[in-house]
Each structure stands twice: as structure tokens, then as C-alpha cells.
Chain A
Amino acid sequence: GQQLNQSPQSMFIQEGEDVSMNCTSSSIFNTWLWYKQDPGEGPVLLIALYKAGELTSNGRLTAQFGITRKDSFLNISASIPSDVGIYFCAGTRSVTTQGGSEKLVFGKGTKLTVNP
């Protein structure tokens, strides 16, 4: 199935460092979302982006919706041990030609490890 190109695949950082990850696609998306998933659990929504060029923050997290609508990045500042997990980007696309309900297309994830 179609997936977004997410990089890097994994990151090993020291506590307190900043982190940056990104997602690209050959297709445009209506919105971009970033989720975090812990082992054995479902993805948890971190940030949702609705407009091209939009820059949104949620605490130590900052994400941007690319101008071309084909990419997005997520930054985490001053990482802490509980930031450990897998981060997924997702773009939304209409489920039907009539619009309305949308499906999520996911990247393969970035696995983040934070060393105390």
C-alpha cells in the first residue's frame, strides 16, 4: 500500500538534545498529522496541521505543513526519556470522490531512543 517516506528510520540521542524528523510524498495531502506509538498501544495524536505553511506547537513539539503540501517535519526540543517511542507522520486523503470522510496514509515511522 501507499506510504509516505519518513526519515530517519531510527534515532539515538542523549537526553536534552533536540530531535528533527520529516516526511515527504510525491502526492499532496489535505492535512498532515503526527502520532506517537508506544509498544503494544495505539497511536496517540500529537499535532494536526491543516494549511500549507502552517507551523504549530504543542509543548516541546513543533511541526510544519510544507508549502507544497507534500511534506512535513516534526521537531522535539530538549528531549526527555518519556519521548521514547515510534513517531508516525500521516497525511489525509478523501475516502470517496464525494469528499468528506478521510483516510490516513502513514509513513513507516521513526524509532526514537533517548539515553538518560
Chain B
Amino acid sequence: ETGVTQSPTHLIKTRGQQVTLRCSSQSGHNTVSWYQQALGQGPQFIFQYYREEENGRGNFPPRFSGLQFPNYSSELNVNALELDDSALYLCASSYTQGASSYEQYFGPGTRLTVT
């Protein structure tokens, strides 16, 4: 069974630039959630994708957007990067069936630094 993978592992961007982060879900999972983890904090929910649509969003501005593909993998896009966007971005996959949702398993994260 393949676990959750993320790419790249780390990257450095300049304020105002755009970035795309990628996530491959664990085998058998159909739901992907994205979280932002600032240094010394717990992860904060950004949004979730299920059936290739955004299925709920946390308190993040529209410049944070995403996609989910037919193979359940996902992308997180951030436009107009700000210094405060520097964080570890975590992807978590899970299985959803109807009204039932199961445990979320995390990838290793992408460390984004904005200068």
C-alpha cells in the first residue's frame, strides 16, 4: 500500500509569485485535505477535495485554490505569495463514503519559504 506523497519537499519563492504544490493520495482513498502549519503551531485546515470538487474551506483567502484529479491526486495553488505564507503545507488523504468519513493520513509536507 502506497502512502501519501507530496512534492516538492521544499521550495523558496519571492513575495508576489505563484506556487503549485502536489499531493498523491494513499491507495484506496478518495478525499484530499490540505493544511497549513506555521512554525510552533498545529495544522490549520485550508480546504478539502472530494469528487474533484472543493468540499469545504477554512479561513483562507481566495488566492488559495486547488484541484483534484480523477486519480484522486490534488494540487494546492497559492497566488500573490505573502511572507506569512511561509509554512509547512500538509496534504492528508482519507476515504469518504456517503455520510461516513474515515481517518486522515498525512504526507511528509512541503516546506514553503517566501522571501
Residues on A close to B: CB < 8 A? 1, 3-4, 6, 33, 35, 40-45, 48, 88, 90, 92, 95-96, 99-109
Most chain B CB inside 10 Å of its own CB: which residue of A44, A48, A99, A102: A102
Q: Would you call A106 and B43 a contact (CB within 8 A)?
A: yes
Q: Are B42 and A109 interface neighbours, CB within 8 A?
A: yes
Chain A: interface secondary structure? strand
Q: What chain B residues lie within 8 Å of A95 (beta carbons)?
A: 48, 55-56
A103-B100 contact in complex given A1-B59, A42-B109, A109-B42, C-beta closer than 8 Å: no
Main secondary structure of the interface of B (DSSP, over half): strand
For chain B, give the interface size range.
20 to 34
Chain B 23-47 interface mask (CB, 8 Å, partner A; 1/0): 0000000010101000011111100
Stretch of B14-22, B79-87, B90-98 at the chain-chain interface: B90-98
> In the docked arrangement, what's the CA distance between A99 and B55, Å?
10
Cα distance A109–B41 when bound, in Å? 7
Contact of B96 (CB < 8 Å), options: A44, A88, A100, A109: A100
B109 engages A100 (CB within 8 Å): no
| CA of A100 to CA of B104, assembled, Å | 13
Question: Which residue of chain B has its CB nearest to the CB of A111?
Answer: B40
Distance to closest chain A CB from B60 (angstroms): 9
Interchain nearest-CB distance for B23 vs A (Å): 11
